[in-house]
Amino acid sequence: MGHNTAAKARTKHAKKNTAIGRRLARNTRRLRK
């Protein structure tokens, strides 16, 4: 559930701001680990 929400938010942010989306993606990967 948690990772699902993050993935959804990341996609939305990435569409709005590529730079922010990239940063979020990196953070999500670290959190997933």
DSSP element (H, E) containing 1: none
Q: What pTM, to 2 d.p., does this model score?
A: 0.26
Residue 13 or residue 24, greater confidence = 24
pLDDT band at 26 (very low <50, low <70, confident <90, very high): confident
Q: Of all residues in the chain, what percent carry a pLDDT higher than 90? A: 0
CB 10 within 8 A of CB 23: no
Which sequence spans correspond to the domains of the chain? Answer: 2-32
Average pLDDT, the chain: 63
Burial code (b: 16+ CB inside 10 Å, e: under 16) for 5-26 equals ebeeebeebbeeeeeebeebee
